[in-house]
Structure 1
Amino acid sequence: MRSFSESYQAAGVNIEAGYEGVKLMGRHVARTVIPGVVSDLGGFGGLFAPDLTGMQEPVLVSGTDGVGTKQRIAQLMDRHDTVGIDCVAMCVNDIICCGAKPLFFLDYIAIGKNVPEKAAALVSGVAEGCVQAGCALIGGETAEHPGVMAPEDYDLAGFAVGIVDRPRVIDNRSTKPGDVILGLRSSGLHSNGYSLVRKVFDVEHCDLGRYVGPLGMTLGEALLTPTRIYVKPVLAAMAAAEIHGVSHITGGGFYENVPRCIPDGLCAKIEKAALRTPPIFRLLQEAGSIPERDMYNTFNMGVGMTLTVAAGQADRALEALRANGQDAFVIGEIVSGEEKVVLC
């Protein structure tokens, strides 16, 4: 017998829509099943049995994040199958910074009105992100919020759990002068700075379907391009070379994120000319008359992640990254200095 409450539905919550949404999500979740998944979708908790073979001291690593106001672009374009990739990316790209391999992911969707097809589209993106990251989607929650959110609105968030052997944890203690800094190409704006992006382009009133020649696509497509997931290529680089530090370049740009893997007394000297900045950043800067310093303090400028590699091993890391489909290049080096990061 199916659960049903006429009174609850009259208040704006459709339990049957929730059931239908879970049914539609099932085929997307099935794509993410990996060894270790114990439970099926629909239980009170997601179960996962990690393989600890060969680990001396397993350490769990967790990360949580959302898509932020980028999801407003998805709502305006009525395209909901990509922001889930962003949600996964923002979590798994964080936990890979200490060397952790993602194991599983859970999502949370708060939605004004639960339209099963829309909820399933959101989860399809989450599932795609999990496939790219090599982790399992083992659970989640869709919460209908009538009267709190507009019917067409939603907020997507989630969290990832990964694992790393304590002796292989990456921190900044091994970083030294002469280390090489590699930049891993981003797919565009990723999921950061969108409050500024939306203001500059006036997205509520502009034509997001307008083709923009320098971008090679419409403005909306450029703004909705999913965040790149770096897990597999970075794990390959970690296996091939001595990695001393990893920074995920998110909100706060270079000035906030690079210093997080630089010890006191050392400085990341980055050559701006070495970056391969996509046209969307130049278009944004010109349209909003944004000072260059603010651009580097808000956006990734074409580099979504940096790796600090032991001197003499940069080529090994680059080879591993490129063999796993990730374009990467040398953007600087570690030098002595009190300022954690210098862009020149």
Structure 2
Amino acid sequence: MSKSRSDAYAASGVDITAGYESVQLMKKYVDKTITDGVLSDVGGFGGLFMPNISGMEEPILVSGTDGVGTKLKLAFISDKHDTIGIDAVAMCVNDIICSGAKPIFFLDYIACGKNFPEKIAEIVKGVSEGCRQSGAALIGGETAEMPGFYPEDEYDLAGFAVGIVDRKKIIDKSSVKDGDIIIALPSSGIHSNGFSLIRKIYGEKLLSDENLRNKLLTPTKIYVKPILSLIENVAVKGIAHITGGGFYENIPRALPKGLSAKISYEDVKKLPIFDEIMSAGEISRHDMFNTFNMGVGMIAIVSREEVDKSLEILKEAGEDAYVLGEVIKSDEGVILC
């Protein structure tokens, strides 16, 4: 590595040696995510993983990819970079768990205007924590220094996760029927969508109000372990991750054609931050529920007979879950009354 330095490339704004330093600094965080299936080390050209398929008749891989979006702007303003990686992991693993798949590995992509090794390591620290919470191994990634494309102090962060599930255990909403019950798993806050609207509402206040920024930067909650516990003990019929599009876009994705979710507005345990946003921006109720999770980060659909058991399992897993609504015959998707 001692000969790997280009003065010409450095003069253009790309420091190769900073990339090597970043890898060394992040390695201690990556090591915390290593699981039995990891066959590769950080720094190779590809991440190697051997999944455990014992007991599976037809193992199916399930993948998901996402980024953090404009929530990153708040991280830049606050110069706080050690939690935003949790969001990147959460947005991916929370999606693939909706199929009943257990996340097995994750890879990240960081593009920046200038590679500050300590900052990159802080970002990966958060990614590592997200992987630890979801049981996924961080088996690789990429840091791209792109001067002139991004400002020096800004970056973008995205990634993808891969999970595995036995084909016969895939949750595909096909068994959902009229009368089934919708269970809510509370969110930790805004999670990672709707921040363009939030920035429009609060504007310059975001620059001066550190408490508000910290509240908005609360990482996306990762639901992998409680959901895995639930599907191991209950016949879960459908799951939806409540992200961009809120209730109106995401809940119908867990419902077959001809069925809708009937939810009482008063039954939604909204977090105070959403009332604050609604008031500050003079946002309609419909637009709030069509943009934000409103305090519900994920929903699971079970038969009426298994509601009590489901709530108890989720409680044991640390979730303050509750009955949100029911499935009815309708083509409206979501009926919020």
2: CA distance, partners of 1:241 / 1:111: 44
Deviations 1:53-90 (A, max 9, x none): 00010000000000000011000000000100000000
Q: How many Å apart are 1:203 and its aligned residue? A: 4.6
Q: What is the correspondence of 1:191-340 to structure 2 with a 5 Å cutoff?
A: 191-203=192-204, 206-209=207-210, 218-340=211-333
2: CA distance, partners of 1:76 / 1:245: 39
RMSD after superposition: 0.9
* Structure 1 runs, 4 residues or longer, greater than 3 Å off: 203-206
Match of 1:37 in 2: 38
Q: More displaced, 118-127 or 273-282?
A: 273-282
Structure 2 unaligned spans of 5+: none
Residues 1:140 and 1:286: Cα distance change in structure 2 (over 3 Å) = same
Deviations 1:195-229 (A, max 9, x none): 000110115764132xxxxxxxx101111000000
Q: Are the aligned partners of 2:260 and 2:328 in contact in 1 as well (CA < 8 Å)?
A: yes
Deviations 1:75-125 (A, max 9, x none): 000000010000000000000001000000000000010000000000000
2: CA distance, partners of 1:338 / 1:283: 32
- Using the size of structure 2 for normalisation, the TM-score is 0.98
SS in 1 for 2:24: helix
Q: Which amino acid in structure 2 is aligned with residue 178 of structure 1?
A: G
Q: How many Å apart are 1:270 and its aligned residue? A: 1.1
Q: More displaced, 313-322 or 224-233?
A: 313-322
SS in 1 for 2:261: strand
Q: Are the aligned partners of 2:206 and 2:212 in contact in 1 as well (CA < 8 Å)?
A: no
2: CA distance, partners of 1:86 / 1:197: 17
1: CA distance, partners of 2:156 / 2:279: 30
Match of 1:93 in 2: 94
Match of 1:13 in 2: 14
- Using the size of structure 1 for normalisation, the TM-score is 0.96
Q: More displaced, 5-14 or 269-278?
A: 269-278
Q: How many Å apart are 1:265 and its aligned residue? A: 1.2
2: CA distance, partners of 1:25 / 1:31: 11
2: CA distance, partners of 1:78 / 1:202: 18
Residues 1:204 and 1:282: Cα distance change in structure 2 (over 3 Å) = closer
Q: Are the aligned partners of 2:68 and 2:88 in contact in 1 as well (CA < 8 Å)?
A: yes
SS in 2 for 1:237: helix
1: CA distance, partners of 2:79 / 2:209: 11
Match of 2:115 in 1: 114
Deviations 1:143-163 (A, max 9, x none): 001011100010000000000
Q: Which amino acid in structure 2 is aligned with residue 104 of structure 1?
A: F
Structure 1 unaligned spans of 5+: 210-217
Q: Are the aligned partners of 1:73 and 1:203 in contact in 2 as well (CA < 8 Å)?
A: no
Q: More displaced, 28-37 or 333-342?
A: 333-342
SS in 1 for 2:305: coil
Q: How many Å apart are 1:16 and its aligned residue? A: 0.9
SS in 2 for 1:299: coil
2: CA distance, partners of 1:274 / 1:240: 26
SS in 2 for 1:246: strand
Deviations 1:289-323 (A, max 9, x none): 00110000000000000100112101111111111
1: CA distance, partners of 2:21 / 2:39: 23
Match of 2:133 in 1: 132
1: CA distance, partners of 2:261 / 2:232: 23
